[in-house]
Amino acid sequence: MMGSSRAFTVLTALTMVMLISGCGITEFRGIHSMPLPGGADLGNNPYRVTVHFRDVQDLVPNAGVRVNDVPVGRVTSVELAPKSWQAQVTLSVNNSVELPANATAAIRQSSLLGEKYVELAAPPKPVGHLDDGALIGIERTGRSPEVEEVLGALSLLLNGGGIAQIQNIAEELNAALDGREADVRSLLANLDELVSELDAQRDEITRALDSVNRLSATLKAQRADIDVALRELGPGLRVLNEQRDQLVTMLESLDELSGVATDVVNRTKQDLVHNLKSLQPVLRQLAAAGSNLPKAFELLFTFPFTDKSVQGIKGDYTNLYVKADLNLTRTLKNLGRSRQPIVRMPQPPSSAPPLPLPLASGADRSGQSPAAPSGDSRSAPSPGSGSAGGILGGLLGGN
């Protein structure tokens, strides 16, 4: 009895010492605050990271924190975020672990019935560095499905889902394909050929889609102009609809006119060809006249002040006195007395046939003027003489 009492006293004293020493070192917050054996090494100066989750499931403090399935820290606290219904989890991570500022966090399960832990990972495009006191927002967190959720979904599928309909589906497929095996094989063969053709023309299809994309971009850039054009097209279409009868009548009349014109051209084709052939010598003679015809027009439209007469004028002006006899009887008499041709045509080249010249009154077919009467001492003026000839000479009273 003495030994048992002494052992109990020693055990009680040691227990009191441990409680007193524990209360003096840290504050006891329950069993979750006690460190677990085999946890991650936090080092001398771990940094803290705050993570927000929509649902932490049954995650508890002192749960593990892993990176690539390697323990790097532990969960310090799990509580409700202030002024929010989100779960706020504080993590302590070893200072030697480097993570980007846009790191992600997810709640995983070590096995089917294992513990929960927080998995930290780097995104495909890491940015910056995760520092002490950083916050991982709820948009970068997630969780894996629970075993209960998987079993519940499987139970829903087996009890009231599509499993019971598989037999009906199989029976309907058998009824649809019964006796049509050859058609189905032919359909599959045609489908395989179609897919092969599409695969062979993949580049053309891609270019066509790119062209459609560019066209869509161009139409989008000109959407305002297209909108204005479509809005202003309505009144024009309305006017065309109102004048449809007139347009139809016009087109019918035009069709009738074209028929008449075609008939006229067919009937007068020979005459038109004959006229063109008859016009050919005239055109040939005009071409043979060359530059003489324009020079004749220069003299006609500038009479009496030709280019040569302008060179003989000294000074900036000249005096001109014209006496015009406008008596019609005397004018006609002068025209009858004139022996000069009305228009003096240029002489064609020696190779071309001579052009017929118009004859003045009193001239014979040979082009020679008849001899003057014996009592008349006048003779025909020679070309180049100073007297005015032709129609102007006749009108002004000359020979």
Q: How many CB atoms lie within 10 A of CB 86?
A: 18
Q: What are residue 374's DSSP bridge partners?
A: none
The domains of the chain are located at 31-149, 183-221, 319-347+387-399
For the chain, the maximum distance between any two Cα atoms, rounded to a whole number of angstroms, is 202
Distance (Å, whole) CA 373 – CA 339? 14
On whether the pTM is more than 0.75, the answer is: no
Task: Give 225's Cβ-side CA count (13 Å radius).
Answer: 5
64's tokens: 């593990």
- Length of the chain measured in residues: 399
What local confidence, expressed as pLDDT, does residue 43 receive? 82
pLDDT at 212: 94
The per-residue pLDDT string of the chain (399 residues; one tens digit each, 9 = 90 and over) reads 444 555 556 556 556 545 544 444 445 555 555 555 556 778 888 999 999 999 888 888 888 999 998 999 999 999 998 888 899 999 999 999 999 999 999 999 888 777 889 999 999 899 999 999 999 999 999 988 877 777 877 777 777 656 667 777 788 888 888 888 888 899 999 999 999 999 999 999 999 999 999 999 999 999 999 988 888 888 888 888 999 999 999 999 999 999 999 999 899 989 988 999 999 998 888 888 877 777 777 776 666 666 666 666 776 777 777 777 778 888 777 777 766 555 555 555 555 455 444 444 444 444 444 444 444 444 444 444 444 444 445 445 444
Q: For residue 240, is it left (φ>0), alpha (ψ between -120 and 50) or beta?
A: alpha
Burial of 40-70, coded b for 16+ CB within 10 Å and e otherwise, reads bebeeebbebbbbbeebeebebebbbbbeee
Structure tokens at 185: 């094989």
Q: What's the pLDDT score for residue 9?
A: 60
* pLDDT for the residue 389: 47
Task: Tell me the sheet residues that pair with 89.
Answer: 51, 78
pLDDT for residue 398: 47
Residue 109 exposed, middle or buried by CB count within 10 Å (0-12, 13-18, 19+): middle
**Whole-number pLDDT of residue 377:** 41
Beta bridge partners of 119: 66, 106
* CB 86 within 8 Å of CB 53: yes
For β-strands 64-67 and 116-121, DSSP reports them as parallel
221: tokens are 């850039």
Q: What is the pLDDT of residue 387?
A: 43
pLDDT at site 303: 66
Token code pair at residue 310: 């302008």
Are the C-beta atoms of 64 and 115 separated by less than 8 Å?
yes
Comparing CA positions, the residue from 355, 349, 343, 344 lying closest to residue 281 is 355
| pLDDT (0 to 100) of residue 345 | 54
